[in-house]
A and B are shown apart, each in its own frame.
Chain A
Amino acid sequence: DAGITQSPRYKITETGRQVTLMCHQTWSHSYMFWYRQDLGHGLRLIYYSAAADITDKGEVPDGYVVSRSKTENFPLTLESATRSQTSVYFCASSVPGQDDIQYFGAGTRLSVL
Chain B
Amino acid sequence: GNSVTQMEGPVTLSEEAFLTINCTYTATGYPSLFWYVQYPGEGLQLLLKATKADDKGSNKGFEATYRKETTSFHLEKGSVQVSDSAVYFCALSDYGGATNKLIFGTGTLLAVQP
**Residues on A close to B: CB < 8 A?**
31, 33, 35, 40-45, 48-50, 56, 58, 90, 92, 94, 96, 99-107
Contacts and interface: CB of A to CB of B under 8 A. Distances in A.
6 contacts: A42-B105, A42-B106, A43-B44, A43-B89, A44-B104, A101-B49
B45 interface: yes
Contacts of B93: 100
Say whether chain A's binding surface is mostly helix, strand, loop, or mixed: strand
A104 B101 contact: no
A42 B88 CA distance: 10
Nearest to A104: B43
Contacts, number: 57
Nearest to A33: B101
Of listed B46, B101, B104, B107, residue having the most chain A CB within 10 A: B101
Contacts of B46: 101-103
B43 A107 contact: yes
A80 to B, nearest CB: 27
Closest 8 interchain pairs by CB? A104-B43, A42-B106, A100-B93, A43-B104, A104-B44, A50-B99, A42-B104, A106-B43
Contact of B43 (A42, A56, A58, A90): A90
Interface string B85-114: 000010001000111111011110000000
